[in-house]
Amino acid sequence: MTAFDFLPVSREDMRARDWYYYDFLIVTGDAYVDHPSFGTAVIGRVLEADGYRVAILAQPRWKDTRDFEAMGAPRYAVLINAGNLDSMVAHYTAAKKRRSEDFYSPGKKAGRRPDRAVTVYSKLARQAFPDVPVIIGGLEASLRRFAHYDYWADRVMPPILADSGADLLVYGMGEKATREIARRLARKEPIASITDVRGTAFMSESRDKCRFEAVECPSFEDVSADKRRYAEACMIQYDEHDPVRGRAVIQKCMGKYLIVNPPQPPLTTEEFDRVSALPYQRAPHPMYEKEGGVPAISEVQFSIIHNRGCFGACHFCALAFHQGRMVTSRSHESVLREAEMLTKHPDFKGYIHDVGGPTANFRRPSCPGQLKNGMCRGRSCLAPTPCLRLDVDHTDYLKLLRKIAALPGVKKVFIRSGIRFDYLMLDKSGEFFADLVKNHISGQLKVAPEHCVDEVLELMGKPRHEVYVRFEEKFKRLNERYGKRQYLVPYLISGHPGSTLHDAVRLAEYLNRRGVQPEQVQDFYPTPGTISTCMYYTGLDPRTMEPVYVARDPLEKAMQRALLQWKKPENRELVLRALKETTGGLNRLRKALPDPPGCAGARKGLFAEDAERLRPQCKKRPEGARRSGRKGQKNQPAQGAEKITQKGRHGAALFAAIFE
């Protein structure tokens, strides 16, 4: 594999191809990895297949325009994305601390792209090539297409088109829109007249420029000044994000109009197959070898994406607002061709690491009606309870997995993408679940119950906890039946809107009862464009406009997070502080517990030291907020661990476990 097998990244590469001009420059915040999991590679190869000359500028320096000018001006447009992640998520943790590593950069080196990369690159591209259209896309542009709350700046920011000064924005999965724009630019159509492409957005002096039936949502100024208006805007934007029945959404902003056209329909199976079959090298560009390659490739090198879209629609996930809720999938033949190709790779050891996508076990639309009518407005297909029209069937996925497993050279086919366990449990045949346990787990299955308190789960867009409990039990039974020693790795979120400290204690107690100590815990991260982020910012559930409790205080967030890993010695102080907060005092808890023989002194000593340090500092829940129906819990007399738990005063069992 040589540099010649990749799209050109320098003038030398262009000369080697006898190119004296080129058509599109793709600027990206990630290293250039020619793999179908990377948007830059997909758009680059799609345009190449249509006969355009495409060059890649990966992680350019951003102090001046030199890197942008190095290959000269493209004929038709500069296409800009921040990379596979929003640049702020790539750079900062949920606690807003700078990350030290970057898996999308050579040698994991951080600092290779600017914060808010789309805006920075757009301005540089405009400066370098004033007459060339600038088009933005990818996750960062897509999820910031409307005025949005920015967690890092802690304020509402204008639509990214207004900040970046780009001409056009492509949102969602951009193949169809990009191809149409490319065709029209190649026909010399001015970028200002390309206002009628689905899946794009632009700024205009007049709302009359909108070519689709449209609805207006509250303006940037309104949503900045009024949280209720923000929540209203969020719901309009989500409701209209539908390729069948969605209308354009107009948002006034600083005297202009943002016009977001309705979404593109998802790729058909044939189109998806075609995109997947393009000549990706499935590797980072060789220019990164001396720096140790690009680590992000290792996650995907022997994995296959078989679907797109997700009707799970968890509220903390932006996928529904990017890829959409309508699931489409590749044909068996297309997936098998890719699997066969993997078996020929020199590093292939016989294991396909994943046949997945946003949710591994979705391969078809949620119901036949959605193809005609679109996704239901204001109704989720799965949560909190499944829709009666939901079409549950794993037969096709199962067949596909079996065919891949039967290929010469394949020893095992694993599923590492998330499985939607509530959908799995609705499958009456049980065949897929059995096959999953028998053949497709490499010791541990990652699942995402996220919490155990139903009110919190409802706000997350997740199924009720009892569904997970039934799933867990069945998983255990199947493992016993097939003589397997496999484990569930539950993914959990602390501090999601709606989760109080009491809820976090209940979750910690649940984990304690189940003997689970999660390795990884994600503190809720208010990333741009999600319904949960709207709840975090506004303190309202945008679906109902009811108030929602939000843990914003860093100390409370830290306590909620620590509770999920309460056994870690470094979390002990925070856990005890949380118990003190939620039970009306550790002394009461301590008195409620029998002293184990011979260690009363030791416990007392430990406790006295802890109690001395702990001070309640949690913010009070706002008046009327949900998840606050536990009035009178504080300062109630504790009369024994069991009784405390029975009364809903959670924490006693956890406290006992800490001192065991």
Size of the site for ligand SF4 (CB under 6 A): 11
Contact call for residues 25 and 57 (beta carbons, < 8 A): yes
Phi, psi of 339 (to 5 degrees): -60, -45
Supply the DSSP symbol for 596: P
Q: Cα-Cα-Cα-Cα dihedral of 318, 321, 324, 325, to 10°?
A: 70
Strand 412-413 and strand 351-352: the pairing is: parallel
* Least distance between ligand SF4 and beta carbon 365 (Å): 8
**389 sits near ligand SF4 (criterion: CB under 6 A):** yes
Q: Which stretch, 71-79, 387-395, 576-584, 642-650, contacts ligand SF4 (CB under 6 A)? A: 387-395
User: Of the ranges 196-204, 256-264, 335-343, 382-390, which one interacts with ligand SF4 (CB under 6 A)?
Assistant: 382-390
Q: How far is the CB of 456 from ligand SF4 (least distance, A)?
A: 22
**What is the closest distance, in whole angstroms, from the C-beta atom of residue 213 to ligand SF4 in the complex?**
21
- Pick from 214, 278, 390, 469: which binds ligand SF4 (CB under 6 A)? 390
Angstrom distance (rounded) from CA 422 to CA 366: 13
Q: What does the alpha-carbon distance between residue 72 and residue 69 come to, in Å, rounded to a whole number?
A: 5
Tell me which residue has tokens 């949690």: 618
Give the containing element (helix H, strand E) for 475: helix 465-481
Is 47 or 531 the residue whose CB approaches ligand SF4 more closely?
531
Instruction: Select 345 or 377, whichever has its Cβ closest to ligand SF4.
Output: 377
Among 381, 504, 531, 576, which residue sits at the site for ligand SF4 (rule: CB under 6 A)? Answer: 381
CB neighbour class for 474 (10 Å; exposed up to 12, middle 13-18, buried from 19): middle
In the bound state with ligand SF4, the residue whose beta carbon lies nearer, of 309 and 449, is 309
Map residue 163 onto helix, strand or coil: helix
Question: Which of these, 180, 176, 168, lies nearest to 259 by C-alpha position?
Answer: 168
Does 236 engage in binding with ligand SF4 (CB under 6 A)?
no
189 is written with which tokens? 């159509």
Of the ranges 53-61, 114-122, 370-378, 422-430, which one interacts with ligand SF4 (CB under 6 A)? 370-378
When asked if residue 310 is in the footprint of ligand SF4 (CB under 6 A), the reply is no
CB of residue 558 to ligand SF4, shortest distance in Å = 38
Listed ranges 197-205, 356-364, 381-389, 470-478: which one lies at the site for ligand SF4 (CB under 6 A): 381-389
DSSP state of 288: G
> DSSP character for 8?
P
Under the criterion CB under 6 A, does residue 326 sit at the interface with ligand SF4? no
Distance CA 574, CA 311 (A): 37
Residue with tokens 């002293």: 595
Q: Which of 370, 417, 530, 583 binds ligand SF4 (CB under 6 A)?
A: 370
* Cis check: omega of the bond before 358, within 30 degrees of 0: no
Taking CB under 6 A as the rule, does residue 387 contact ligand SF4? yes
Identity of the residue, 340 or 391, whose beta carbon is nearer to ligand SF4 in the bound complex: 391
Give the C-alpha distances (Å, rounded to integers) separating 606 from 59, 129, 344, 586, 599: 52, 67, 60, 12, 11
Rank residues 462 and 650 by Cβ distance to ligand SF4 and give the closer one: 462
Q: Least distance (Å) from ligand SF4 to the CB of residue 391?
A: 7
CA distance 307 to 578: 42
- 320 near ligand SF4 (CB under 6 A): no
Residue 369 sits in the site that holds ligand SF4 (CB under 6 A): yes
- In the bound state with ligand SF4, the residue whose beta carbon lies nearer, of 188 and 379, is 379
* Alpha carbon separation from 428 to 67, 440, 476, 490 (Å, rounded): 57, 20, 18, 24
Q: Which range, of 292-300, 368-376, 413-421, 581-589, touches ligand SF4 by CB under 6 A?
A: 368-376
For ligand SF4, the binding residue among 31, 42, 160, 376 (CB under 6 A) is 376
Q: Which stretch binds ligand SF4 (CB under 6 A): 192-200, 298-306, 375-383, 585-593?
A: 375-383
Nearer to ligand SF4, 366 or 499 (CB): 366
Q: Which is nearer to ligand SF4, 364 or 561 (CB)?
A: 364
State yes or no: residue 593 binds ligand SF4 (CB under 6 A).
no
| CA dihedral for 204, 205, 209, 212, sign (positive or negative) | positive
CB-based contact 227:497 (threshold 8 Å): no
- Asked whether position 372 contacts ligand SF4 by CB under 6 A, the answer is no
Q: How far apart are CA 449 and CA 401, in angstroms?
A: 25
Can residue 375 be called a binding residue for ligand SF4 (CB under 6 A)? yes
Q: Say which residue the tokens 């095992």 belong to.
A: 412
Instruction: State the minimum distance, in angstroms, from the CB of residue 231 to ligand SF4.
Output: 22
Residue pair 49/90 in contact by the 8 Å Cβ criterion = no
369 versus 637: smaller Cβ distance to ligand SF4: 369
Among 156, 260, 313, 367, binds ligand SF4 (CB under 6 A): 367
Decide if 433 contacts 427 (C-beta within 8 A): yes
C-alpha–C-alpha distance, residues 63 and 114, integer Å: 10
Our CB check for ligand SF4 shows the closer of 345 and 389 to be 389
Interface segment toward ligand SF4; rule CB under 6 A; list 134-142, 203-211, 384-392, 446-454: 384-392
Residue where the block lists tokens 């629609």: 313
Contact between 379 and ligand SF4 (CB under 6 A)? yes
Minimum CB–partner distance for residue 380 and ligand SF4 (Å): 7
Q: What's 442's DSSP letter?
A: B
Task: Find the shortest distance in angstroms from Cβ 363 to ligand SF4.
Answer: 15
Region of residue 154 (phi > 0: left; psi between -120 and 50: alpha; otherwise: beta): left
Class of residue 196 by CB neighbours under 10 A (exposed 0-12, middle 13-18, buried 19+): middle
Judged by CB, which is closer to ligand SF4: 367, or 511? 367
- Nearer of residues 136 and 381 to ligand SF4, judged by Cβ: 381
From 199-207, 365-373, 474-482, 565-573, span contacting ligand SF4 (CB under 6 A): 365-373
Q: Give φ, ψ of 260 to 5 degrees.
A: -105, 110
* Residues of the shown chain interacting with ligand SF4 in the complex, contacts defined by CB under 6 A: 366-367, 369-370, 375-376, 379, 381, 387, 389-390
